[in-house]
Structures are given as structure tokens and as C-alpha cells.
Chain A
Amino acid sequence: MLVTYPEAAHWPIDPDRLDLVEEFRRQPRGPHGDELQKLLHRLRWAGDPDQPGRYVLIVTQPGKEWMLGRLPRQRGRPIELMRNHVFTSIAEAEWEVFKLRWEAVTGRTLPPHLSEKLV
């Protein structure tokens, strides 16, 4: 059986590379440079191992509004809806998820100028 392993992505993330964070904030939907692509691959592939499930968006109004949720790794378990995290653009949602993941994987809080919402 051919299996895909969530722990396969292991590009080393340097917590000092805030330039990559800034690059992502400028263009959450890309295009991205080589190193940011590798960083994003690691975060997206691993799927939030520190959380009870992968961060996902639930469409609340098609094309207009999305809610953050956590998708459990076990089938049959309900998706957790995070009702106070609602976004009106995909870019804004991508940035919020990126920040959560960056802080989880580096163990560091982002400096104030990088922790705000996307405008």
C-alpha cells in the first residue's frame, strides 16, 4: 500500500527569517519565491500537528465570507467551527492561518508589525 506520510515535509524553518513572513503578508496568494514556497510546503503538508486538527476554512457565503475551522484527523469526528474567526477575503484568512502556523512551528511570537490583520 502506497502511503503519504504527514511528517514527510522537513524543510528546516529558520525563526529569524522574518523576511519570508513579510513576503507572505505582501502576497498571501503568491507568486512566492523559492524559499517561501518551501516554507509553505512544510506548513501545508504537516497540517498543524500541534492542533487537534488541520486549519481549514468553511464557506459561509460563497465568494464572500469564510469561517476558520479545525478538521480532525479521524474520520467521522465533526469539524470544529471557530465562529469568532470570520474572514471576508481568502487572503486575509491565509494570513491568519500563516501566523498561527509560524508561531506554532518556531515557538516564537511575531513582532507587533507582523502580527496585525491584513488590511
Chain B
Amino acid sequence: MTDTTSILGYAWPMVVSPGEEVAFHLSSPSVSKADAAVVRVRCGDPDPAGPGIRAHEMAAPFERTVSLVHQVIRPGSCAIVADAPALTSFQSFTVGAFLWPTMPGDRAQTILSRWREDTQEGWRLGLDADGHLEFVVAAGGRTWRVVTGAALLSREWVLAGASWDAEAGRLAVMVRSADAQAGRDRSECVEAPGPTGLEWPAAVPLVIAAQASDGGGELFDGFYDGKIDRPRLHASVQPIDGLHRLCESMNFPMTDARLIAAWDFSRGMAGESVTDLSAHHLHGRVRQMPTRGMTGANWDGSTDRWTDCPEQYGAIHFHSDDMADAEWEPTLRFTVPAEWRSGFYALRLRADTGDEPVESFVAFFVRAELGKPRSRLAFVASTGTFLAYANSALRLDQVHAEAMLEGVLTLSRDDVYIQEHREVGLSTYDTHADGSGWSISSARRPILNMRPRGNVFNYGNDTHFIDWLEETGQDYDVITDDDIHRHGVQVLAPYTCVVTGSHPEYISREVWEAFDAYQRSGGRHMYLGGNGFYWRIAYHPTVPHTIEMRRGMTGLRTWEGEAGETALAFTGEPSSTWRSNGRPPQRLVGVGFDGQVFTHSSPYRWLDGAKDPVLSWLTAGIDLAAPLGDFGLRGNGAAGVEIDRVDWSLGSPPGTVWLATADRLGYGGTPAPEEIRTLHRGVMGDQNAQVRADLVYFPTANGGAVFSTGSIAWVCALSHAGYRNNVSQLTGNVLKRFLDPAPL
């Protein structure tokens, strides 16, 4: 058994040009020295029934023996306001916000604080371990505390606050439920004795949704799960009505000198700063990218997009497990030699210290430089999709996984690691510990399922196509979603043919439009996958390799977002499926997602469209009476896993030639939710011809063309029988013609 997790790391940036520097941020709790080598990845799938792991070692300009140290990951999001004179300028005060807690009673959590946990001084408003609202004030070794009698309910809005009356020596904690009936009322105000004067601790930040661990300003704990909306801090003693008015207010007269801070989280939604409306400008910054653009306590359902009405989206949903940046120190850097070809690369780390050999890969991509193609063919690394799936714990956490996959779950060493080490941060398929959807994914952390070995999906499947290109001697460039997003069609334009792989599922508007423009201007696109061009995502406006997506109310979604929260905080665009954004994939690539099949994959059968003599270049050397792809590494067929079909009403172009179909998938063929209007039996693949994979070709403007296979299993059938098979032959026929500049 190979140990794939004792050394982990990430490359930054994840995508580099020849001549640029890449840094590897590595960590190991157990291995102090490892052998490091850069490899160019040809096949990342260890399955002995296929080509196996194939990686070419490069002559890299660095010392091969690297020293490793253990670097920890600190998950948990919060907002931090650096210490300022205004924060210690008062004695009596009131603090509060609207709260929508998601894990009250799970553990103690801090909501608003200017508190040092190591010395136990300052003040903090939070939930105690049982979910009661708690206010603590402490200094000089003395602590005063007041707590409510009833625990807060999960996922119910309350106004929550506290006050300290220094003159009277009283503390108060107060809750007002937004829906105070039918068993939901948690409204109460509790008072207790407090100090009559205090010395505040020096140099402590004010923290929202956590507290400072010490005076260093770098470490935080007591993370809160749930939403916080419109937090306020006022240097006066207010009863709950006064706090309510403060929290409801969005405009503050500058004549109110006692207003210390009033944060409006609806400003600068895409970024990492939080804005204070007061005269003190106590702006802060968020860490670990909590979810913004969330409905506030005042959301009234009049819109489902924060851009229409930002003042109803003043909540941030903080998660104790948010993780956007592992913040590891770089271990190794090197400059990619200018002559290296673009491709899938990885740093391979080996060590032989324990019971098992350690071999761990850290993936990075070398892009073909913009405007400097070295081939007429480009293969797209679906980095948007790799990020969306990064560290997926779907099979570990979701009840339906074993039933969906039609068999006992088979887990890799990487899965075993992720089950135990949730600090690496999960994927957009997963839910946070509080059950809410994981909507942001970044590459500044180890990504265990985007590298050779480990779990073979997306990255591993796509390397089967690279392996086939290498086997057939075809030269190619590699380009990435991230670059297409940034530079648009310019990235695609130099190529006569562009290939997208097994699962180009997560697509920003910019990427969609680049492909559309490319196809319209004579480009040739081979889409060799399934469930492609499906979800609409956004890239972070400034942080590279960071995506956001919201799963809406339709589509094959492993979580459902909350009502009113389907617009992306990074851009304000609607998310959800492209189909519900008016762009079914059929319109771009002829086919669109319709179902899954995990029992077994199937061959396609040729249709009359393929028999047109005009298409003899496409079918040359192929027996059209024989099944197409009755073999393969994914379910023993070329049509399977996630599949797409033609639909004229969803925009398959009238010029589409429907070449072949796999429409006899049996009971394992399960339709996508958006394929069913109403409930009735008879929707599974044994009875429903709409659950199928279709193979299509169509010409586009200016001599361009599109060829689509509509199946994830396709590329995993290429190597069958020594690469001599009809899937390989057809792929080769299309590629050869698509590389010929003569108009189609």
C-alpha cells in the first residue's frame, strides 16, 4: 500500500507559464526529508487494467532532497477589526446583531468580541456550550458573566445583544425572536451584577464570529457557525428596543458620538473587507472566505438577488470549517524552464521511512503562453471543475452515495485522510459541519483529488486523453479554464482544434462566451465528456484559482441553497445551472446533461446520421454495424457515468448530425431532476429513452465544427486493446479532420 498523505502540499500559483516561478508549500507531520522530482503527467490512473501511472521525470533545477516540517491548517472564518483608540474609548456599552445560528449547543461560540482568550480579559458576546446567549466581561483576574435561560434555536433569526452599565455595575444579555410564537419564542432579557469600572486589554482586535487567541493578532478561536447581520457597538446602555433600533438603522447621524461601530456587510460583497458606517471607520477584513451575499433578518422575499436590494443582504454566513488559505510557508521554489512544453505537471515526493513507501504528488499546470501556441491542438485542463470537486467528501458524508454508486463504497487512502482531516477544506459538493452548502473553493490548500493516484475522476480521467495523445504521437498544448476566464477567446483562437475533457462541468460566463466565440469564428471543439457546461460559476475578482458557485433549486445538486441565496457574491451574477440561465449546454455543444448510470456503462449504436457518405472521414475504418465502445475502464462501456443527450427544444442546433446513441441503459439509468416535470413512475433508464448518451457532430460558422460524445466514460475507453478500438479510431478520425484547416 502506498502512503499518499504523509506529505501534502500545494503549488502556487497553480498554473504557470514557462519561464515563471512556482512555489511548493509542503508539510509533513512525520517525514523530515523527501526526494522531490518534477514529473510531466501522462496517465494518473493507477488501475492495472489501463495504462497505469505514467509520468516522465523532468530535469528540474533544484536540490532533490527537501526538508519538511509540519505546517498546520487553521480553518474557521471571522471578521477582524484591528485595534483602534475608539475601541477602548468607553466604559458602558451595548453590543448586538441579528443572528441566525446554525449549531447552537454544539460548543461555545463567539459572536462579537474584544477578548484575549489566553489572559481571559476583555469582553465577549457568544453562545455557551449549550447554546445560551452569554456575555462575559473580565479584567484584572475578575470575570463577570450573564447568560440567558433558554438555548437559541438553529436556523431561526433573533436579535441578540448585551450591555454593560458601568455606573450601575450591571450586565444584561438580551434576545428577541423574530418569530415569537408556535414554540419559537426565545425572547428574554437577563441581568446580573457587573463591574463599575474596567481596564481594557491593550492591542486586541475586535473580532466578529470568533475571538483572539492571544495578543499576536494572528490566531483566533471560538469560531461561530451561522449568520450575523448588522452588528452594532454603541457606547451607551441600551434596552432591547434601543438595540433593535440601532440594528435596524442603516443611516447614522454623525451627531451620535456614542456610536462606536455599525458594520454593513452588504458593502464590498466580492471582497475581503467589511465596512463600518460610523465616524470611526472601523473597517475590518474577513479571513478564510466566509459566505457573503446572504439574506439578512430583513429579507422579505421581494427579490432573490442581492444586487437588487443589497440592504436585505447584510448577513455573512460564517463557518467554523471555512478554509480558503492554508497559509503554509513555501518549501521549494523553481523557475519553469522556458523550453518545457505545456502540460499536466506534478511535484513527486518520495520517502522510505515508515512501514510503507510514501509517494505523494502535488499537481500544477504549465500553460501554453498566451499568443505563443506550440501546436495546432489545445487540450483544456478543466481547472474550474477540479476546484469545484477539490477534496470532495461526498462519499464520506452523504447518505445517498452508496445507493447512487450501486455498490459498496471503495475509498482511497486520500479519502481515509479526508475523513479524519477536515481542516483541508471540502468541495462545492459538500456541506459544512452545520449542513449549509460549501460554495467557495480555492487552490491555496492541498487538493488530494487533483493529482496522480488517489481518486480517479476528472483529473485522473482526463489524463487518459493525454495518454492517448502521447501514444498516438499527437503534439498538443495545454490551456486552462482559469486562463480562458481571464483572457477569453484569445486563449482558444490560435488553435485549429480545442478539446475539452471528461467533465468540463463548472463554467463561468467568460469561459462559456469564449467557447461560443471560438466556435463561431471557425474553431473546432471536441467535447469528449459528460455533464459538461452545466453549472454557472464565478472566479474571485482578485484572488487567483478561487471559484464560487451556488446550487439553486434545480439541477443534480448535492445540497440545496437557501431561498434568495442563488446569486454569486463574487460577481452578483445568478449561479445555478446554465440551463436555468437560458443557456442549455445543447445550444453550445449539441448535447446536455440528462442522467447518470453507475451500474454499468454501455456501447453506442450508430444511427443513420453517421451513414451519410459526406461523413466518410468521420467513420473511416469503423464498422457501423458493430457496437461503438462495448469496453472501457469505467463500467465496461464508453457511454456511462454522467451522460448527455440531444434535445431540439433545449437548443441542439438544427444542423446537428445525430451520429450514435446509447439509450438502453437499464434500470441503473437515472434521470437528472430537471428532466422531470412531475412525479410518475417509469422515469428510469429501463423504461425511459430520454436517459441516454448521444454522439453528435455539427458544423459551425466560418468552417468550424463541434463533436461531442456526451459521456464521462468515453476517454477511459481509449486505451482498450492496445489503443486499437473503435472509440480510439473515431476520436482519431475526428481529430485529424478537425486539425485540417480546410473548412468543414
Contacts and interface: CB of A to CB of B under 8 A. Distances in A.
Contacts of B47: 62-63
Interface string B412-427: 1101100110100000
B400 A90 contact: no
A61 B436 contact: no
B705 to A, nearest CB: 37
Contacts of A44: 402-403
B1 interface: yes
B410 A4 contact: no
Contact of A97 (B408, B411, B562, B666): B408
Given A37-B667, A45-B399, A56 B409 contact: yes
Contacts of A64: 48
Contact of B49 (A29, A63, A94): A63
Interface string A66-96: 1001011001111100000000001001100
Nearest to B666: A31
Interface string B445-475: 0000000010000000000000000000000
A69 B412 CA distance: 12
Contact of A1 (B406, B408, B436): B436
A104 interface: no
Given A45-B403, A47-B399, A66 B409 contact: no
A63 B398 CA distance: 24
Nearest to B46: A62
Given A1-B436, A47-B399, A76-B422, A71 B410 contact: no
A1 B551 CA distance: 12
B560 interface: yes
Interface in B368-404: 393, 396-400, 402-403
B403 A41 contact: yes
Most central of A9, A30, A62, A66 by chain B CB within 10 Å: A62
B411 A31 contact: no
Contacts of B49: 63
Contact of A45 (B1, B402, B409, B416): B402
Given A75-B397, A78-B420, A59 B412 contact: yes
A41 B402 CA distance: 9
B702 to A, nearest CB: 45
B402 A57 contact: no
Interface string A31-47: 10000010001001101
A37 B666 CA distance: 12
Contacts of A71: 396, 409, 411, 419
B155 interface: yes
Given A2-B560, A31-B667, A57 B433 contact: no
Contacts of A102: none
A41 B400 CA distance: 10
Contacts of A59: 410-413
B520 interface: no
Contact of A56 (B155, B408, B420, B436): B408
Contact of A30 (B413, B453, B562, B599): B599
Contact of B559 (A2, A45, A76, A78): A2
A45 B403 CA distance: 6
Contacts of A78: 416, 419-420
Given A44-B403, A58-B410, A62-B47, 6 more contacts: A1-B435, A4-B399, A56-B408, A64-B48, A66-B410, A75-B422
Interface of B: 1, 46-49, 155, 393, 396-400, 402-403, 406-413, 415-416, 419-420, 422, 433, 435-436, 453, 559-560, 562, 599-600, 666-668
11 contacts: A1-B155, A31-B666, A44-B402, A54-B402, A54-B409, A55-B408, A57-B409, A62-B48, A66-B410, A76-B419, A90-B410
